[in-house]
Amino acid sequence: MNFPFNCNLKCQSYELNRITLKMNSFDYSKDPIMTFTLSNDNPIEYFIHNIFIRKLFSFYNKIYFQNILDQTVKFYEQTVLIKSIIDDYHFTLSTCDSNIFQPYLLMSNKSQSLFILRKGLDLSDASSIYVSFASWSRPNYYLRHENGKLKISDNDHSILFRQDATFKLIFDQQHQNVAMQAVNLANNHLLTYDSKNNVLFLSRYDKSIIITSELDRQFLFKITPYLY
């Protein structure tokens, strides 16, 4: 693992402890797997220790990802709710045109829409978690982005639709919240909640690497199972 030049041993120890927390998704967490303390009293020992830590980090990073993946897969085909962590506002549908069913998504604390969590319609790679959200009330309709806005549309099985309807989940390791990234837009575009206007849209995140602990709360959501 490569650290920035200004990240000292205390900083590196903190980062290793933070990253290697063994967590489960969807509001369930466990204690840390282990803790690390780096020392450079002896350059040779530090060198050997550093190699060991790197191998150990790689090993536990794989375990962490597999653990998150396993927990997410358990919720495939389950009914879920999606809400903002800012308040108790949930994703809800709002029909803009009564003649054409192309509802856009809004946020509401009075109503909530149900979705079925599914494996991503478009899987870019095996190193991340991709999901799609099918409408519970309208078969074959999926949550997708279009022109920067969020809506549900009938799945036409096109490549564009599959990409628009697939989101990469980026988990917050401490609070089990998620950021949702569009998979087919250049740079990093994250689902964003404008709490003042109660609207959802995609906005560009300027940094090349997304770190959830650095994200503003408007980018973070909570996916929870719906209990009948």
* pLDDT value, residue 10: 62
pLDDT band of residue 35 (cuts 50, 70, 90) is very low
pLDDT band of residue 47 (cuts 50, 70, 90) is very low
Q: Which amino acid is at 84?
A: S
Tokens representing 189? 């575009």
* pLDDT value, residue 206: 82
The full set of domain ranges for the chain reads: 9-72, 76-225
Which residues of 97-195 form beta strands (DSSP E)?
Answer: 104-108, 115-119, 129-135, 141-146, 149-154, 167-171, 178-182, 188-194
Q: Does the pLDDT of residue 37 top 60, yes or no?
A: no
pLDDT band of residue 6 (cuts 50, 70, 90) is low
pLDDT band of residue 127 (cuts 50, 70, 90) is confident
Cβ atoms of residues 142 and 153 within 8 Å = yes
Report the predicted TM-score, pTM, of the whole model to 2 decimal places: 0.69
Tokens 């149900």: give the residue.
Answer: 114
Q: What element of type H or E holds 45?
A: helix 43-73
* pLDDT value, residue 8: 64
* pLDDT value, residue 143: 94
Spatial separation of the C-alpha atoms in residues 129 and 26, rounded to whole Å: 14
Mind listing the pLDDT tens digit for each residue in 88-101?
Answer: 899 988 655 445 55
Tokens representing 29? 């967490």
DSSP 67: H
* pLDDT value, residue 87: 87
Please give the distance of CA 100 from its chain centroid, rounded to a whole number. Answer: 31
Q: How far is CA 40 from CA 43, 50, 91, 115, in A?
A: 6, 10, 50, 52
Q: How big is the chain by its Cα radius of gyration, in Å?
A: 20
pLDDT band of residue 19 (cuts 50, 70, 90) is low
Mind listing the pLDDT tens digit for each residue in 167-198?
Answer: 998 887 665 788 999 999 877 899 999 888 88
Other C-beta atoms closer than 10 Å to the C-beta of 51 total: 10
CB-based burial, 135-146: b 16+ in 10 Å, e otherwise? beeeeebbbbbe
Q: What percent of the chain has pLDDT over 90?
A: 30
Mind listing the pLDDT tens digit for each residue in 50-63?
Answer: 555 555 455 555 55
Tell me the CATH number of domain 76-225, given options 2.40.50.140, 1.10.260.40, 3.30.365.10, 2.80.10.50.
2.80.10.50
Q: Pick the closest to residue 203 from 220, 219, 214 (CA basis).
A: 219
